[in-house]
Amino acid sequence: MGTAFFFFIAIFSILYSLMYLWSSTTTKVNKGFISINNYILLFLIYGTVLIGFSAVYFILERGPHPILLEHTIPVEGSNYHIMELCLYFSAITLLSVGYGDIVPVGLGRWVAMIEALIGYTMPAAFVLQVFREER
């Protein structure tokens, strides 16, 4: 029950953060000004999504089949080491860097594709949210 519960919490936090991005009221900016509140909001949403996906990777990695390979070898080590690699892989995937030192396999490929798509579209969604016209 514990693993399923944490998996649900991770998925819920990711979805809630994305819904919050679209429904939140960002600080409207005047020409030539920036809002630190908007940067904090974007940082917190990215952080929540990043940690949520790293939890998903960690939970799936603890299952019967490996989902991440480090230099063509399944990820091994203590829970701390595996969580560190999952957090690193999540950040690299979400920010569309993709160094290639950790590679997803099996179900991990699908999760990584979804995370990369979200990471690629979040900045556009944020910009649209900041500059949308209120009616």
**What amino acid is encoded at 77 in this protein?**
G
Q: Tell me, what DSSP letter sits at residue 63? A: S
3-state secondary structure 76-89: CCCHHHHHHHHHHH
Cβ 76 vs Cβ 59: under 8 Å = no
Average pLDDT over residues 86-107: 91
CATH code of 2-131, in short, is 1.10.287
Q: What is the pLDDT of residue 135?
A: 46
Q: Where are the domains of the chain?
A: 2-131
Predicted confidence (pLDDT) at residue 92 exceeds the cutoff of 90: yes
* pLDDT tens digits, 52-64: 999 999 999 988 8
Q: Which residue has the tokens 């860097």?
A: 97
Whether 112 shows a pLDDT value over 90: the answer reads: yes
Over 80: is that where the pLDDT of 23 sits? no
pLDDT value at position 15? 79
